[in-house]
Each structure stands twice: as C-alpha cells, then as structure tokens.
A = this chain, B = another copy of it.
Amino acid sequence: MRWGVEKRLEFIEFRLFWEGGINRADIVDQFGVSVPQASKDLTLYEEKAPGNLIYDKSAKRYKAADDFKPVFMQPNASTYLAHLRETNGGASGVTEAWLASAPEHDALPIPHRRVEADVLRDVLKAIREGHSIEVFYQSMSAKKPSPEWRRISPHALGNDGLRWHIRAFCHIDHKFKDFILSRCMKTRKHGLSGASANDDKLWHDRFVVALAPNPALSESQRSIIAQDYEMTNGRTEVMVRKALLYYFLKRLRLDFADKLDNPHEVPVVVANRAAFDAALAEATA
C-alpha cells in the first residue's frame, strides 16, 4: 500500500477513535482527494478493519462501532493531548490539524520571547558538526547590561519546563553552562570546538531523585499522591541530569515543601534530601 493511502486510513481511524465519526468530506478536505476516492478509502478501511465502521444514515456520517478496535494506530492519550495543546498555540507547521471537533480547551499562557528560527538553525548546525559558534547573547549578569558576542561550543539542548537552553562550553568562562535560547539574538562565525561534549559531566551525570508524598498530608491523601506518581512502597525514583536538577527543584516546587502553609500545594517531597542537596550544590557550583 502506498504511503498516502496508509495515511488516509490512519486518519480515518484517528477521527473515528477520538472524534467518534468521519465523512467523505473530511477526507477530501484533509488530503485534497476526489470524492469517489474518499468513498474508496472508506470502503478500503472497512475491508482492513471489519466491523469498526457503522454508517448512520440519519446523521449522514460514519461512526465508530461500540466494539471499535484500532488497527492502524495505538491510541495514546498523551499524543492526543499534545496535539490539542499545539492547536492552541496556532502555529501548526509539520503536523496538520487532524483534530476537527476538538473540545474547547485552554492551556496556561506562558509569556515569552520567541526563539529565532535562524538562530536555532545555526545552533543545531554547530551541534551537528561539532563547531563552536558566536552568539549575541543577553546575559543576566549585572556586569553585562547589554548583549555581547560570546563564543560557545554547544552540544545539546535542554528544556526546563518553561524554556529551552543550549548546553554549551563557554569560551569566556572556560566551563559548561546553560544559555537560554530565546536570549540569543543572532549568531555568526563558526569555528573550532573548545571542548568535547563528553567532558560535560553535569550533563551526562544523572541523579536519582527519590520522591515521597508530603508527610504533612493525611494518610489517605498520601496514598492518593502515591498513586498519582505511580509509586511503589510510597516512593518513586526519577532520573534527572544534574544540569537540570535545579530546574526540577523549582518546577515541582520542591524547595518550599516545609515553608508552605498548605501542604496541598506541594504533593511530593524529596526523600533523599541530603544526597539531593549535595548533587544540587555540585551542579550549581
């Protein structure tokens, strides 16, 4: 079967599963095929996945059967929700909108400067080819009130939950650091790399964070949290790169577990706090 046909069958199944029904017109709109071809596709789908399709004459629409069994995809809630979040952002790009009758939805607006496509492109190139590169970077340090050209040897990208960082060797400070991608205004001058990616210890080393329900919660609440985090014996372990450990602390609000009035706010606490603090000290040194 040709790739285009396969995609259309997948599309039919996607719509049936997540949106409950599909039309010839849906296929025509999505893929620009002719109406007879859309008919053939539906017939073909019925052949390949017998019993999944039921035509509702009254609604003039194919509906998913009660015992619908997907054969062209594995339904995954996270994937659907990720798509949903994308439709919110507006810019679709590669992923076209397979969601037609999406539910009303909204995500928290995270205000931020946009990342320049050309900057990202050049950084990716430097990572790929093992170059160093100069970035016109706005540092937060008080000594540098305006952006400066800095040479860095990038080797990876990291996401802290709110924004993306470049993980790179800094040719000025002679160590590996994070550079916030959106603070790179422009790039220039590829050059020789200043360090091997393998030497970025904090990036490659991972610390195993042990999480436990906040002991300030009631027992029944603790057990609910344990289920939420899929804990076994009231514990769950999360491997976190040391370079990301600081952001992990902040994102999960682990730094305030004890100081907060309401334990409800911080469902989990770090169970191996001493080791955690040591690792964090190492990472932020």
The 8 A CB mask of A55-93 against B (1 = contact, 0 = none) is 000000000000000000111111111111110010111
The answer to whether B227 touches A14 (Cβ under 8 A) is no
Q: Complex: how many Å from CA A233 to CA B182? A: 20
Given contacts A94-B83, A95-B95, A138-B224, contact A229 B112 (CB under 8 A): yes
**Residue numbers in B under 8 Å from A104 (CB-CB):** 127, 155-157, 197
Interface string of A238-264 (1 = CB under 8 A from B): 111100100110111100100100001
Given contacts A20-B125, A111-B238, contact A14 B94 (CB under 8 A): yes
Q: Are B108 and A156 in contact (CB under 8 A)?
A: no
Copies of this chain, complex-wide, total: 2
A3 near B33 with CB under 8 A, answer yes
Chain B residues with CB under 8 Å of A145's CB are 220, 223-224
* CB <8 Å contact, B117 and A75: yes
When distances are taken between beta carbons in the complex, the residues of chain B under 8 Å from A157 are 81, 84, 103-105
Q: Mark A117-160, 1 if CB is under 8 A from B, else 0.
A: 11111001101100000000010101001100000000111111
For the complex of A and B, list the 3 residue pairs with the smallest distance between their C-beta atoms, beginning with the closest: A145-B220, A79-B93, A107-B159
Query: Can you show 27 pairs from A to B with CB atoms below 8 A apart?
Result: A2-B4, A4-B4, A10-B94, A19-B124, A76-B93, A78-B91, A79-B95, A82-B89, A94-B95, A104-B127, A104-B155, A105-B157, A106-B159, A107-B158, A107-B159, A108-B159, A108-B240, A108-B247, A109-B239, A111-B230, A112-B228, A112-B230, A138-B224, A142-B218, A142-B220, A145-B223, A259-B259
